[in-house]
Structure formats: C-alpha cells, structure tokens
Structure 1
Amino acid sequence: MRFARNLRRDLRGILASAYFPMHASLLEGVNNRIKVIKRMAYGYRDNAYSFLKIKAAFPGKAR
C-alpha cells in the first residue's frame, strides 16, 4: 500500500520521464549552451533577438 501511495504521488514525474526521455547529461549540455548564448548576448539591443538566437541553437525535430 505504501509503495502504491508513493507511485501515485510521483505519477506526474514518472509519466513525464516516459513521454520525454531526456538524460541529465543532455539537459546539462542544453543549459550550458543557453548560458553561453546569454553571455554572448550581453550587448544585444533587445531580449527578442536573444530568444531568437536560443531558438536557432535548438531547432528541434523536423516534422
């Protein structure tokens, strides 16, 4: 019963890991790349351009 209660409590996280399989190392690489882009974007005029640079760095899956 205790195990079932713990599963119910953590159900959202379990389902998210099944739907979106992203390992910690991949996530750390994404975070590092965003930090580098933020450092390079220090002199940009507006935030919209910075977000465009981040989106361009991670194109996602082709549909």
Structure 2
Amino acid sequence: EIYEGEVGLSQGEDVIAYCRIGERSSHTWFVLKYLLGYEGVRNYDGSWTEWGNLVRAPIER
C-alpha cells in the first residue's frame, strides 16, 4: 500500500532504487522484487556516492 498509494508505483513500471551508499536501496530492491513481486526493479549500488563524484552528471531537483 505504501509503494502504490503514497509513492505512486505500479507493477508495470521500471524502478531504480538508490540511496547514499547502496545499503538501504538494496533492502528496498529486495522487498519490491521478492516480497511484493515487482518485475522491473533494479538497484543502483553505486548510488549517490558514485553519482555525486561523476563530473557533469545530471541532477534533477
């Protein structure tokens, strides 16, 4: 209910989980994929630590 109601995810969408270092996002990935059955879920394990160190990486605010 939280993911579908409050966040607005649906089963057919592609989802990329991320956090600061990839630890919390791996938990979210596991829950979405294996406990809730979302097929299009991936974990960006580099997360913000990697992305933030890339030169000229786009960031939406």
Q: Which structure has more RCO (C-alpha within 8 Å, separation ≥ 6)?
A: 2
Max radius of gyration: which structure?
Answer: 1
Give the structure-2-normalised TM-score: 0.28
Give the structure-1-normalised TM-score: 0.28
User: Which is richer in helix?
Assistant: 1
